[in-house]
Chain A
Amino acid sequence: MVTEKNRFLRGDDIPRSEITPRDVFENRRRLIQLAGAAGASALFGTATLARAQSAAVSPDPKAQKLSARPNPAFRLPDTVTPYQDITTYNNYYEFGTDKSDPAHHAGTLQTRPWIVSVEGECQNPKNYAIDDLLKLVPLEERVYRMRCVEGWSMVIPWIGYPLAEIIKRAAPTSSAKYVQFITLDDPKQMPGLSEPIINWPYSEGLRMDEAMNPLTLLTVGLYGQVLPNQNGAPVRVVVPWKYGFKSGKSIVKIRFVDKQPPTAWNTYAPQEYGFYSNVNPQVDHPRWSQATERRIGEGGYFTPKRPTLMFNGYGEQVASMYQGMDLRKFF
């Protein structure tokens, strides 16, 4: 059922009448893929067809299934990015700097046993075993846009529940102004840690209101399955209105702090990566424009980039948190 509140959470400014029901757009997507493949195969032979079909095939048959209720408030009209692209094109420097490295090297990550320590300025600090965390709240599926600071984007069906559920249980004190997320840093499991690219462990953070925003998702799966290691298994956060690097992976600590915590890329190059890092087409990264993005898996080689949306299209849900702030200064 779509309540008035949920209707507000749609993550897009598109009128309801223009939003395509999931089954329709999935069918349409298949048709477009086939049509595109047919057109492309006229140009490039039949190889394209093989890939379009394989992209439509269900994800990894060996991966553990994860049942989750699709939340109708978080559908998107956008075509979902193929599973193969989501799981082979990753920035996860703990497993190497090439986009394909994490898929090749993340097999060494041990996701059981796994403890997430909720700590710091709160009344109920607690160590959660990962399997308890999975059962804490019913899981839901949400389709979010993901925009990387490098200028590409995906559309991903995540599984999880609002981070706010954990925060509420922890009962942060009045001095808790920010939430910090710490990623595992075990060199035995993560070969990339031998390169001093950033100050390990990877650390990210949100202001308390950002962390409590209903969009901020504690994420344990994608495409109906548990998170693949290269996507941040066994648990990560997803903050869809910010550049992807703000969404910390393989989290071992969720810490309430009174000051803005040091965050990985901001510490490395504060002039290039702000603490907020809200998706903003008007504020360029010094090395490239942020006005457009390449949607991974969309169309063929000759598909132009698409315009980037303010707050990645989630302005309705998040813009009020930044009212009165100079977003050029606090980029």
Chain B
Amino acid sequence: MSDIHPPPTVAKPASGRAPRAAASGASAASTARMGADARQMRWIKIVVFCAALYPFARLIVFGLTQQLGANPIEFITFSTGTWTLVMLCITLAITPVRKLTGINQLLRLRRMLGLFAFFYGTLHFITYIWFDQWFDLHSIYHDVLRRPFITVGFGAFVLMAALAVTSPRAMVRKLGGKRWQLLHRAIYLIGILSILHFWWMKAGKHNLAQPKLYAAIVAGLLAIRVVYAVAARLKRPA
């Protein structure tokens, strides 16, 4: 399971987008092509950024037009929680899809998608401590300690925060590639904790259709990595 590669930390070329090609001493023609690629990548990033903001925009519009239903806070809590999970799944899907399709540029979207998972996780967390608990620290403390579904959710959030803080390139340099890589493998644990959080919450009313769906997706995404890791190990001695 070694698919977490730190982003390259070599000196930034002018574009800041194609360090490997630049470092390999590309010809003038390929440099021009790189420029076109970088421009394309910038547009792709803008489109993905806007698409990832859609769930947030939807909540705002629903809020303004009174479409959040009879219990708006519950709606916001469920919605932000679900989108955190969706963003986590998409982030975890980047590496398998890249390996299957050979589209290496996908890797450039990974950090942004991971940060969106953290963004929705943060909204989810704020909804809980503000609207649900009303900043009652005593009550929050008890919840985190005594209620397993909140304990694991809180754990996942703290880990996500650690990954978000160490997401800039400068942090990769600071930590060193190996340590950074090790830390960012926590995303696997975050995925598992998030599924537990969702599952245990819904188990109270035996309403497990959705948790089962997300559990299957996360399990699949982790299983692919195991398959790749085993295959890589088998290939090595040859």
Contacts and interface: CB of A to CB of B under 8 A. Distances in A.
Interface of A: 44-45, 47-48, 50-51, 84-85, 88-89, 97, 99-100, 152, 195, 197-198, 268-269, 272, 285-289, 291, 294, 296-297, 301-302, 304-305
Contacts of A45: 64
A3 to B, nearest CB: 36
Q: Which of B70, B73, B149, B204 has the most CB of A within 10 A?
A: B70
Interface of B: 63-66, 69-74, 131-132, 134, 139, 142-143, 147, 149, 200-201, 204-207, 209
In the A-B complex, the 9 residue pairs with the smallest Cβ-Cβ separation, listed nearest first, are A89-B70, A85-B70, A51-B66, A97-B207, A304-B134, A47-B65, A287-B204, A197-B206, A296-B70
Contacts of A269: 204, 206
Q: Which of B147, B201, B206 has the most CB of A within 10 A?
A: B206
A269 B206 CA distance: 9
Nearest to A48: B66
A219 B40 CA distance: 65
A305 B201 contact: no
A305 B130 CA distance: 11
Given A99-B71, A297-B70, 14 more contacts: A44-B64, A47-B66, A89-B69, A97-B205, A99-B69, A152-B71, A198-B206, A287-B200, A287-B201, A289-B139, A291-B139, A294-B71, A294-B73, A294-B74
30 contacts: A44-B63, A44-B64, A45-B64, A47-B65, A47-B66, A48-B66, A88-B69, A89-B70, A89-B71, A97-B205, A97-B207, A99-B69, A99-B70, A99-B71, A100-B69, A195-B209, A286-B147, A286-B204, A287-B200, A287-B201, A288-B147, A289-B142, A289-B143, A291-B139, A294-B71, A294-B74, A297-B70, A304-B134, A305-B132, A305-B134
Q: Which of A48, A288, A302 has the most CB of B within 10 A?
A: A288
A25 B8 CA distance: 67
Contacts of A302: 131
Nearest to A304: B134
Nearest to A46: B64
B65 A88 contact: no
Contacts of B74: 152, 294
Contacts of B147: 286-288
Contacts of B64: 44-45, 47
- Which secondary structure dominates where chain B touches chain A? helix
Contact of B71 (A84, A287, A296): A296
B169 to A, nearest CB: 38
A114 to B, nearest CB: 28
A185 B147 CA distance: 34
Contacts of A291: 139
Contacts of B63: 44, 301
A197 B207 contact: yes
Nearest to B76: A301
Contacts of A198: 206
Contacts of A285: 204
A268 B208 CA distance: 14
Contacts of B132: 305
Given A197-B206, A197-B207, A301 B73 contact: yes
A218 B74 CA distance: 30
A45 B204 CA distance: 38
Given A44-B64, A272-B204, A286-B147, A88 B131 contact: no
Contacts of A288: 143, 147
Contacts of B142: 289
A28 B143 CA distance: 37
B148 to A, nearest CB: 9
B149 A287 contact: yes
B171 to A, nearest CB: 36
A50 B206 CA distance: 37
A99 B207 CA distance: 12
Nearest to B134: A304
Contacts of A297: 70
B75 to A, nearest CB: 9
Contacts of A287: 147, 149, 200-201, 204
Contacts of B204: 269, 272, 285-287
A301 B69 contact: no
A297 B68 CA distance: 12
Contacts of B69: 88-89, 99-100
A82 to B, nearest CB: 8
A175 B8 CA distance: 80
A51 B66 CA distance: 7
Nearest to A47: B65
